[in-house]
Structure 1
Amino acid sequence: MSHPRLLPRPVAARSVPGEFPLDAATTITAPGAPATTAAWLQSALRPATGLPLPVTDEQSESAIVLTLRPELGPEAYRLESGPTGVRIEGGDTGGVFYGCQALLQLLPPRIYRNSRISDERWAVPGAVVEDAPRFGWRGAMLDVARHFLPKREVLRFIDLMAMHRLNTLHLHLTDDQGWRVEIRRFPRLTETGGWRRSSQLGSTIDDLTEDRPHGGYYTQDDIREIVAHAAERGVTVVPEIDVPGHSQAAIAAYPELGVTHEQLEVMTRWGVSPHTLNAEESTIDFFRHVFDEIMALFPSAFIGMGGDECPKDQWKGDPRTQELIAERGLADENALQSWFITRIAAHVAERGRRVFGWDEILEGELPPGVAVASWRGMTGAVTAARRGFDVVSCPDDQVYLDYRQSEHPDEPIPVSVPVTLADAYAFDPVPDGLSDEQAARVLGGQANLWSEHMDTPRMVDYYAFPRLCAVAEALWCGPDQRHFDEFSTRLYDAHLPRLDAIGVEYRPRTGPLPWQTRPGIVGAPATKADHEAHMNRRVAAIRS
């Protein structure tokens, strides 16, 4: 039976007699295991315990021992604790780290506080835990384009991901409403594209406007710090530069990238801009340079290029674009978008990386090696897997954490259909109807946090948690290992006190607290039937 304190739920865990007290004699030893993991564990245990916990080469009589055991497999671990000490074995660096995370969860929740707690007796209960993840891609997408999240908050979010064994941060860095990463060759991308003069409040065209500038961006040194911080915690950061749609911020900075070449401002309303990139070779060259700088900053195997929600009206009405379509022997504007994506994908592939895009890219021909994020339900996952492409599942009606959390009348700016804690927990990245070979194309899944209505870190907390806890367990465990009632008990009785200790302002079980509401700002709620009909229309072009 699973140990009641752990989240995500481990494959196997049992209590054993005895305990291991932490005291002034306790050391951390890492024979063959990464020194960075030992140092991280020391830094995690020291503040609340007040103990020195030195990292030593020689094992003492009172030791936490970290070691590699490759036969366990990627990210797998085995933890054994008892009167003689704690031993954590990992199949790789990630496995050792997750064993350390499990160790923290065996201790009282106050271990997550940042100052010494003198009235707590720190002892690890006797336990044997054997664990391994179901999927290799367990992620969260964080949109920092609509509302910029300061670097310190990105680092905190990474820490919370790692606590929940999530290993992929998909960082949405550019959109119509802002460009958030320094590109040294093109400084106006952040000088001009990095801020907007005002922001929409709410979800409808008639909503109010907050006449307050909003902006911010990450320097290249900031990005290096974020990537390194994440890597030490087993998290890969996958950047996304969204093209050829969702690009008004880039066009505002460099008007020659647009179809009309007119001077635009960074978009101040939510939704999709009608302004798309033009299809000139000079624009392809521009973004080759952008992606070169991005790939130099992010060592991830996958590089996101968006490809979603690209309006074709400007292309259809522009004589020059129509001339380019004819010169290239393309059938129509959809084929032109595929041409654009293929050119960027080829450039990325030449540098040993793979393109990662939203499921709209399936509406045309794709080069080999592209991975697809299926967000419009699971149709994209089915279509991509059957066509031989790798898939990351993130269906909006299950794991879009910006959607409203319930039918509660005080949910802040309610968007689309409710995605409840139970909905998030029921998420399975592998859709029905695939063969075993096709199902193997599903790399995993991720939750998506679009930030139109998350204008502060406090609101990110509210929308993300505790639903991200549910998604993390869904991605770690197989469906046969999951039981929502048991998860709920573990979440509310054992895990939320940890989040309290950290200071996460999650949504309470009973509904939003008064300061988590947004009175007077309406949203755009939808019924499940209307939402399903809308999505069926949108995915008609990619249905197999």
Structure 2
Amino acid sequence: MVASDPPDEPGRGGSVIPAPVRQRTTEGVCRTGRPWRIRAGDPSLDGTAGVLAPHLRTGAGADSGEIVLALDDVPLKPGAIGVQPSADPDECYRLTVEPDRITCAARTPQGAFRAGVTALHLLAETPETACRVIDDAPRYAWRGLMIDPARHFLALDDLRRLIDLAALYKLNVLHLHLTDNEGWRLHIATRPALTAGTPHYTADEYTDLQEYAAARHVTVVPEIDLPGHSAAALRAYPDLGTLPRPSWYPVDAPFPAPLDPADPHTRAFIVDVLAETARLTAGAFVHFGGDEALGADEASFTEAVRLAREALRVAGKRPLGWQESSRAGIAPGDIAQFWVDVPMMDLPQTQEELDARPDLLAAGHTLARTKALTRFFAPADGDLDRIVRGGGRVLLSPQSHLYLDRPYDPAIVPPDQAEEGARLGFAYRPRDVRHAASWDPSSYGVPPEQIAGIEATLFAEDFQGFDDHTALLLPRLPGVAEAAWSPSPPSWEEYRGRLARQSVLWRDRGLAALRSTEIDWH
């Protein structure tokens, strides 16, 4: 981004997450606890005003404050790093807080919405907040959250609440993991058995969800995970061809045999489901998976990835896959989602090491399985370098920091949430909230021009309900947003002060959260 004038003050301090690029305080204070009304200064902003209004304590009396949305030029210019998920790259805004008015100015409705969200954060400061001018724009263009309704189906209203949460932290992509071994959640008209008798989204429901997200400037990116993670497809269509398992892989291992792209029925199936998903998707991107295709030889895997990419390009979409897809070849501009940045789950290689990991034993792991998984994930060490050398774009989702289904460190779980804290999370090493907030996307050595963006993931293998989603996302998701939007990482002490104030926003929205003892919550 390029500023027309130098920054007045660092953008940190107060309650706003992610921290803006810069802000300067001005004379006076604004009383936040009174009623507020919102007004669109241009007809194109009526929808934005309608989205923000329900989150205000509204009123029109003489004592009420006014939020004004305006289309106007602002000092910062678009220049975010990465791949734009929507057609409009301009999210820049200027927010001006006066004693009785907050003005949200931007060149685009998207920028005005981001400013309005900042206003919601400021109004959570009670009983008053300092008058100020904020100039802001994102560091990275793609700022995503992946949700897993394939494993734990979510009602549309719950997905809408997660879209609202993503928008509250200026995330702009909802990646929906719609297919896996446990279920297939998007109705495909030509393949009705995929969703017969199981919870799923109809075409109309999927369209409605995308429209709801678009009103909050969030792009929905669907994922159809192929050729691995295919058990749900095989239950529906057992005549699909699969590849043989390698002899060294245990029969009780969690991954089914991947689909065989050499089988004519399977080829037609892959093209069909991807083409229909593309037809139903308003955005420019469709994710084809490509991860954990255990048992696929190099030639078969390469053909499956080639077939998926081609099917999506023919359908007018830009394909992306998990980092393993790069092993099938990577061309300039191809997007690969990087996730294996540490030895996979630090898996034990001796029985003594396994006996010291009650989390893995509880998940049913045997030594044969952990050894097989280690062998399977060994090639991941070369994926990131391959993507960069091939001119690809890296969507950063490092497991170490952005896999938010990671358990919490028991040391930071309050006593009244001990049972919940012990239950939540997959078989990764537990971490505290500070760990989740203490990383910089630039630390992976990917040239800035090859970073596609940042995306947190929340896989749902063992979830029991909607509250499990938000209890793992909160309080960690705001730290992801900070890394994706703000120009540089914060200090922990400064950040934890802003994070403490977020609990007001979560309570207002009825969202469950883990009240880490690292934070002095408001």
Is the pair's TM-score, using the shorter chain for normalization, greater than 0.5? yes
Give the match's secondary structure for 2:423.
coil
Q: Please state how far the C-alpha of 1:483 moved relative to its aligned partner.
A: 1.2
Alpha-carbon distance between aligned partners in 2 of 1:470 and 1:406, rounded to the nearest angstrom: 17
2:512 matched to 1:505?
yes
1:484 to 479, 492, 497: 492
1:385 corresponds in structure 2 to 388
| 1:440 to 2:423 alignment | no
2:440 maps to what in 1? 428
| Matching residue of 1:69 | 73
- 2:423 aligns with 412
Instruction: State the one-letter code of the partner of 1:508.
Output: R
Secondary structure of 1:78's aligned partner: strand
Normalising by structure 2, report the TM-score.
Answer: 0.78
Unmatched tracts of structure 1, length 5 or more: 54-60, 111-120, 195-215, 262-268, 316-332, 512-544
Matched residue SS, 1:66: strand
3-state DSSP class of the match of 2:200?
A: coil
Q: In the alignment, what sits opposite 1:182?
A: 187
User: Cα gap change, 1:483/1:10 in structure 2, threshold over 3 Å: closer, same or farther?
Assistant: same
Deviations, residues 74-130 of structure 1 (Å, cap 9, x unaligned): 2111101214633212243221111000111111369xxxxxxxxxx8x77522111
- Assess if the C-alpha contact under 8 Å between 2:339 and 2:396 holds in 1: yes
Q: Is the 8 A contact 2:279 2:315 kept in 1?
A: no
1:238 alignment counterpart: 221
Q: Call closer, same or farther: CA 1:24–1:13 in 2, change over 3 Å.
A: closer
Report if the CA contact (8 A) 1:270-1:452 is conserved.
no
Displacement after TM superposition at 1:286 (Å)? 2.0
Letter in 2 for 1:412: R
Structure 1 partner of 2:256: 273
**2:281 is equivalent to residue 303 of structure 1:** no
SS of structure 2 residue aligned to 1:440: helix
CA separation of 1:241 and 1:25: change in aligned 2, threshold 3 A: closer
Cα distance, 1:427 vs. partner? 2.7
In 2, Cα distance between equivalents of 1:109 and 1:163? 15
Change (3 A) 1:106 1:433: closer
- Which amino acid in the other structure matches residue 397 of structure 1? S
Change (3 A) 1:158 1:358: same
Q: Residues 68 and 93 of structure 1 are in contact (CA less than 8 Å); yes or no, is this contact kept in structure 2?
A: no
Specify the SS of the correspondent of 1:72: coil
**Equivalent position SS for 1:430:** helix
2:369 is matched with which residue? none
Question: Shift in Å at residue 399 of structure 1?
Answer: 1.1
Task: Measure, in 1, the Cα distance between the counterparts of 2:243 and 2:267.
Answer: 17
**2:122 equivalent in structure 1:** 106
- TM-score, normalised to structure 1, is 0.75
CA distance in 2, matches of 1:3, 1:14: 11
3-state secondary structure, aligned to 2:441: coil
SS in structure 2 opposite 1:127? strand
The amino acid that maps onto 2:168 is M
2:149 to 139, 144, 147: 144
- State the one-letter code of the partner of 1:471: V
The correspondence of residues 46-195 of structure 1 with structure 2, limited to 5 A, is: 48-51=57-60, 64-69=68-73, 72-73=77-78, 74-83=90-99, 85-108=101-124, 125-191=130-196, 194=198
What are the residue-to-residue correspondences of 1:12-51 with 2, within 5 Å? 12-19=22-29, 28-31=39-42, 33-45=44-56, 48-51=57-60
Residues 120-142 of structure 1 deviation map (CA, whole Å, 9 limit, x = unaligned): x8x77522111111001111111
**CA distance in 1: counterparts of 2:330 and 2:69, whole angstroms:** 48
Distance across 2 between alignment mates of 1:63 and 1:109: 16
Kept in 1: contact 2:45–2:69 (CA 8 A)? no
Q: What is the alpha-carbon distance in structure 1 between the residues aligned to residue 22 and residue 243 of structure 2?
A: 60
Q: Which amino acid aligns with 1:150?
A: A
Whether contact under 8 Å (1:373, 1:393) holds in the other structure is yes
SS of the equivalent of 1:300 reads: coil
Residue in 2 that maps onto 1:375: 339
Cα deviation code 1:221-275 (max 9, x no counterpart): 11111111111111111100000110110111011213389xxxxxxx9932235
Match of residue 354, structure 1, among 318, 323, 326 = 318
Aligned 8 A contact 2:184 2:195 in 1 = yes
Alpha-carbon RMSD across the aligned residues, in angstroms, is: 2.8
Superposition deviation, residue 384 in structure 1: 1.1
Give the structure 1 partner of residue 459 of structure 2: 450
Aligned to 1:200: none
Tell me the alpha carbon deviations over residues 398-430 of structure 1, each in whole angstroms, 9 at most, x when there is no partner. Answer: 111111121448522552112332222123233
- Please say which of residues 100-109 and 147-156 is displaced more in the overlay: 100-109
Residue type of the alignment partner of 2:496: S
Determine the C-alpha separation between the residues in 2 that align with 1:275 and 1:340.
Answer: 10
Query: d(CA) in 1 for partners of 2:239 and 2:72?
Result: 53
Paired residue secondary structure (1:166): coil
Structure 1 residues 455 and 52: alpha-carbon distance in aligned structure 2, compared to 1, 3 A threshold = farther
Q: For 1:52 and 1:285, how far apart are their aligned partners in 2?
A: 63
Q: Percent same amino acid among aligned pairs? A: 30
